[in-house]
Amino acid sequence: MSVRELLPFLKGWDNRVHVTHVTVMRGASPQIVEVNEFGHLFQLTMVTDDCYSKVEFEFKGPYEPVSVAFRPIDAYIYGATAQDPAGWAQRYTRPSRTSSAGFYMVAMWAGYATNSTIPYLDKTLSKFSLGEESTQETAQILVTSYHTVILDLEKFIRSWRAFQGTRNMDVDRTLVGYTET
């Protein structure tokens, strides 16, 4: 069973949706949005009006920090512009090759389609920017992310153990962001 399929049997968690809309300026420092929570990331989608808009997500994984960056132009360069429920660029409309303006929708991570998740700890950082290659002064970026957040770690672990039918099952608390003080 995947994490997503187990959740109805567990306690101490909730679903969260984060929606961020920013206006970015070409060549400016990235705008940063920080979210303090831990859990599992299920899906990231980006809609923008410039193919050089960039979204970078940084989060602490169970053992190593993780950073994922994406621009719609990257999907086009690699030929990943067909609709695919596992991700890639879902829409790439660039009316003129001499302009970076257009309509771009990218599913950067679609765990709902594949039932896979990305665990993260502590917080996530989202960085939004517009590359110097853009022909526009500004661009709009809308990012939506879907998460399962662990709200009560002890309740979550107890319900996991009850589901497994054991009270003594060892849980690597590093994987769920728990550190003893």
- Give, as one character, the DSSP assignment of residue 134: -
φ/ψ of 76, rounded to 5, equals -65, -45
Is position 51 within any domain?
yes
With respect to residue 91, please indicate whether it lies within any of the assigned structural domains.
yes
| CA dihedral (176, 8, 169, 116) positive or negative | negative
Please report, in tens digits, the pLDDT of each residue of the chain (181 residues total). 677 778 889 999 999 999 999 999 999 999 999 988 888 888 888 999 999 999 998 887 777 788 888 899 988 887 666 555 554 557 788 999 999 999 998 877 656 556 677 777 777 889 999 999 999 999 999 999 888 899 998 898 889 888 888 766 666 665 555 555 4
In a domain, 142, yes or no: yes
pLDDT for the residue 75: 80
The whole-model pTM stands at: 0.81
C-alpha span between 62 and 69 (Å, rounded): 19
pLDDT in tens, 24-65: 999 999 999 998 888 888 888 899 999 999 999 888 777 778
What pLDDT score does 52 carry? 97
List Cα–Cα distances, 122 to 30, 31, 79, 108, 167, in angstroms. 21, 20, 35, 21, 27
Does residue 181 sit within a domain?
A: no
In this predicted model, what pLDDT tens digit does every residue of 125-136 receive, in sequence order?
899 999 999 999
CA torsion 63→111→33→138, rounded to 10°?
130
- As for how many domains the chain has, the answer is 1
**In a domain? residue 132:** yes
175 in a domain, yes or no?
Answer: no
For residue 110, the enclosing domain spans 14-149
Task: For residue 118, give the CATH number of its domain.
Answer: 2.60.120.1390
Q: Is 7 helix (H, G, I), strand (E, B) or coil?
A: helix
Does residue 171 sit within a domain? Answer: no
Measure the CA–CA gap between 87 and 75, rounded to whole angstroms: 10
Residue 133 pLDDT: 96
Per-residue pLDDT at 181: 43
Helix (H) or strand (E) holding 22, with range, is: strand 13-25
CB count within 10 Å of CB 87 equals 20
Cβ-count burial of 37 within 10 angstroms (0-12 exposed, 13-18 middle, 19+ buried)? Answer: middle
Is residue 95, in this structure, part of any structural domain at all?
yes
Using CA atoms, how far apart are residues 84 and 87, in angstroms rounded to an integer?
6
Q: How far apart are CA 24 and CA 13, in angstroms?
A: 34
